[in-house]
Chain A
């Protein structure tokens, strides 16, 4: 194994792990101000919005591809499908779309 690659992997793993771990240590047993708590409770839903857009529109050069996938997933989830059904449904719709093209 090349030494340089090994050092790179080790370095990458350390700088990735620290931000993941640090909040649990820093904020252990601390009651944060309620405004800050409110912000942290908002983070998951804001993160999801940011993780979905614009990423989903860019999975293919054809912007319709991602858009159709997004709409399919949204409809499935809105109708109450669970997450795995939503995922498989949207894959199926896109497989159909790309086979038509």
Chain B
């Protein structure tokens, strides 16, 4: 029995590794550029690697570099990081409903690796998300992020401009690739995505709020509105039946 369970976890881990490949590819140009910019901002190779190892959050790491170059104090940089990354709270709360019941210690461990990308891959997976799957997705993503940050610092140059430009679309294309199959099956998914895209565009482009809050507000607003509409429609249907 336990052999069977171990075998299952191993194949789930492999599935996770496979599902993480697009993230690994997508992180490549971004991490490379991060390493390059970190070098330009005066961070040593070790500091660059340490940041990618311990923080593992692309947008916040980029912002910290530009704040450093403005001479911003570290307290303000840490506060900004917190605000930019608070969206992960919502993602973890959502994922918590979908992952298999397992030891809390494992969840506390793999929650370190929840990024926009690993969350998107796990949350759009069919059925329950196993612990093995989470570890697989995160291992590929994390390795790509850390190794390529170091590589960017070491070689001190980025990819040829055209390649750099076209690879910049990779993570967005991945998000589209994860979203579309669910959109085809479910009108609710279409409503959620379009509504959140519209809210986030308004909040960001009109500079109504910082990007971190914009994503959180757009996501929550759309999730609540759509859920309320669905609930009301269900109630109506129920009343009609009676």
Contact = CB atoms under 8 A, between A and B. Distances in A.
A20 B196 contact: no
B116 A23 contact: no
Contacts of A70: 172, 176
A73 B173 contact: yes
B21 interface: yes
Given A5-B47, A49-B222, A91 B92 contact: no
A65 B64 contact: no
B219 interface: yes
Interface residues of A, number: 73
A10 B176 CA distance: 34
Q: Which of B94, B166, B184 has the most CB of A within 10 A?
A: B166
Interface residue range, chain B: 35 or more
Nearest to A60: B165
A19 B88 contact: yes
Contact of A45 (B26, B75, B193): B193
B62 to A, nearest CB: 12
Interface string B168-202: 11101111111111101000110011111111110
A20 B112 contact: yes
The main secondary structure of chain A at its interface with chain B is helix
Interface of B: 19, 21-22, 25-26, 43-44, 46-47, 50-51, 54-57, 60-61, 64, 68, 74-75, 77-79, 81-82, 85-97, 104, 107-108, 111-112, 114, 116, 119-120, 123-124, 162-163, 165-170, 172-182, 184, 188-189, 192-201, 204-205, 214-215, 218-220, 222-224, 226-227, 230-231
Rank and list the top 3 A-B pairs by shortest CB-CB distance, nearest first.
Answer: A49-B193, A86-B177, A44-B123
Given A1-B47, A49-B179, 12 more contacts: A12-B61, A20-B114, A35-B231, A37-B97, A43-B219, A48-B124, A49-B192, A50-B218, A52-B197, A78-B184, A87-B177, A88-B25
29 contacts: A1-B47, A12-B57, A13-B54, A15-B78, A16-B82, A19-B86, A19-B92, A20-B114, A21-B92, A46-B218, A46-B219, A46-B220, A47-B116, A47-B219, A48-B178, A49-B179, A49-B200, A51-B120, A52-B175, A59-B172, A69-B169, A69-B172, A77-B176, A82-B177, A83-B19, A83-B22, A98-B162, A98-B166, A99-B162
